[in-house]
Amino acid sequence: MIFRGLLLCGVAVGLQFGVPPQGQHQRSAARKTAASATGFDLAAYMEEKRVYTEAALDASLVSSCTETDLIVESMRYSLMAGGKRVRPMLCFAAAEMFGGSMEVASPTAVGLEMIHTMSLIHDDLPSMDNDDFRRGKPTNHVLYGEDVAILAGDAMLSTAFEYVAKNTKGVPAERVLKVLEIMTECVGPLGLAGGQVLDLKSEGKGFGEVTLDTLQWIHTYKTAALLKAAVASGAVLAGASDAEVEKCIIYAQKIGLAFQVADDILDLTASTEDLGKTAGKDLEADKTTYPKLLGLERSREVAQELVDEAKEALSEFGDRAAPLNGLADYIIQRKN
C-alpha cells in the first residue's frame, strides 16, 4: 500500500532517462588532464559521464501532487546541487570494464547518488557537522529547516532503492537483488551510519586517543563503503565473476581511503571558496584526521600509495581499467 500511495500521490520515480543535453562546460583545473599514453582522455570521459548523470538525475525525481511538493523540492535541491558525480562514474566505469552499458547501470548510478545526497543532507545538520554551505550553496536545513531536511534525507534513501528496483532492465533478477544488497549494506552499521557514529564519538579526543587503526575503520565505512558499493554494483550488473568483483572491492576500498586522506588535506590547505563548504571544519571540531596523525607530507604520500595499490588490484584488466585508474588519480589530485 505504501508504494501504491507513492505512485498515486507523492514521488514519481521516473521511468525514462533524460537525453543528455548537448554542449560542454568549463570544469575545474582538476579536470584538465591530458590524454594518457594509451589514448584515454580522463577529462572527456568524466564530462561525458557527468552530463549523462545530470540528465538521469533530473528525470528521476518529480512531484506528482501538491501535497508532496515541499519534500520533493527539498530532495531535488540537494540532488541537483552539482558535485563531481564520482560515484556514478565509478559505477559506469566498472560496468563498462566487464562489457556492460551505461543504460543498464544508470538506475544504480542514480540510486548511489541519491544515497550520497542523503548522507550530505544529514551530515550538514547542526547535530552532525553543522555546516551552512555545501557546494557553495546554503545547505538543505538552512533553506528548508531541520525537520524537512531530515525527512528529505530519509525519503531520498528509500527512493534510491525503489528507483533501482523499478528501473533496472536487461539483467537477471539475481543481479539486481545483489546490487540492492550491496547498496543497503553500505548505509548500515558496517557502512555510512557506523562510520559516522564513530567519527562523531572521536571528536575532541586528545592526541593518541584515536589511533590510525581507528581512523582507518571510520573511513573504511564512512567514506569508502559507498565507493565500494558503486564499483561492486557496476561489476555485478555486467556479470563479473566473484573473483573479479573482489578485485574491484579491493580497488574501491583503497581509493575510498585515499579520497578521505585527500579530503583531510584539502580541509587544511584549500579555501572556503575552493571547497564550496566551510574550510577548517575538522580543526574547529577537533577531529582526528590523517594530517593530524601523520603530518601533511606523509598524508600526501599515503594517498599516493593507496592509489598505487588500487591500480595494482586491477592490473590484470589492462586498458579496460583505464577509466577506473584515471578516476583513482583524480581523487587525490582534485581541488575540492
pLDDT in tens, 45-77: 999 999 999 999 999 998 888 888 999 999 999
The whole-number pLDDT of residue 335 equals: 83
b/e 296-313 (16+ beta carbons within 10 angstroms → b): eeebbebbeebbebbbeb
DSSP string, 33-50: PPP-TTS--HHHHHHHHH
How far is residue 109's CA from residue 56's CA, in Å, rounded to a whole number? 9
How far is residue 77's CA from residue 83's CA, in Å, rounded to a whole number? 12
The yes/no answer on whether domain 39-333 falls in CATH 1.10.1740.10 is no
Q: Is 61 helix (H, G, I), strand (E, B) or coil?
A: strand
Give the residue extent of every domain in the chain.
Answer: 39-333
The whole-number pLDDT of residue 9 equals: 45
- Angle, CA of 64, 137 and 144, to the nearest 5°: 45
Q: Is the pTM of this model over 0.75?
A: yes
How far is residue 13's CA from residue 264's CA, in Å, rounded to a whole number? 36
- Contact between 331 and 262 (Cβ < 8 Å): yes
The whole-number pLDDT of residue 288 equals: 83
Partners of 12 in the β-ladder: 62
Ranges under pLDDT 70 in the chain: 1-38, 206-207, 271, 274-285
Closest CA to 119 of 213, 13, 12, 194: 194
> Where does 20-166 show beta strands of DSSP type E?
61-63, 133-134, 137-138
How far is residue 93's CA from residue 89's CA, in Å, rounded to a whole number? 6
How far is residue 67's CA from residue 45's CA, in Å, rounded to a whole number? 40
What lies within 8 Å, CB to CB, of 305 at 6+ separation is: none
